């Protein structure tokens, strides 16, 4: 038979002093949600794209999407369609501008 002794949690809890950030998170449990990572993606269809086309891809390959350069694209978060968006240029980078709900 095993001899198990209980842990003194009261003494341990008094030794830990929460900082202001952890107190704020404890006051608002939903604030933890804002810290969770998520995957943001944009979907552009490429009609008539085949497995053979996929196998032929190499550096410098260009895929014709038949998508207008100013047309709306669907914006997805963690695999769920969130809204419509369009591509935008921010300085030297490509960005996404939200244009409306799904």
Q: What is the pTM of this model?
A: 0.59
- Report pLDDT for 12: 47
Residues facing residue 95 across a β-bridge: 88
User: Under DSSP, is residue 32 helix (H, G, I), strand (E, B) or coil?
Assistant: helix
Q: Which CATH architecture has domain 22-47+70-102?
A: Roll (2.30)
Domain boundaries, the chain: 22-47+70-102
The mean per-residue pLDDT over the stretch 46-51 comes to: 90
What percent of the chain has pLDDT above 70? 74
In tens, the pLDDT along 68-95 reads: 878 899 999 999 999 999 999 999 999 9
């Amino acid at each position: 038979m095993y001899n198990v002794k209980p842990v003194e949690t009261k003494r341990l809890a008094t030794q830990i002093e929460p900082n202001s950030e952890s107190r704020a998170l404890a006051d608002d449990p939903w604030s933890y949600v804002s810290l969770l990572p998520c995957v943001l993606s944009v979907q552009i269809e490429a009609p008539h794209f085949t497995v053979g086309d996929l196998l032929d891809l190499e550096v410098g390959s260009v895929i014709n999407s038949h998508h207008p350069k100013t047309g709306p694209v669907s914006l997805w978060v963690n695999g769920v369609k969130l809204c419509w968006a369009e591509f935008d240029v921010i300085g030297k980078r490509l960005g996404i501008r939200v244009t409306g709900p799904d």
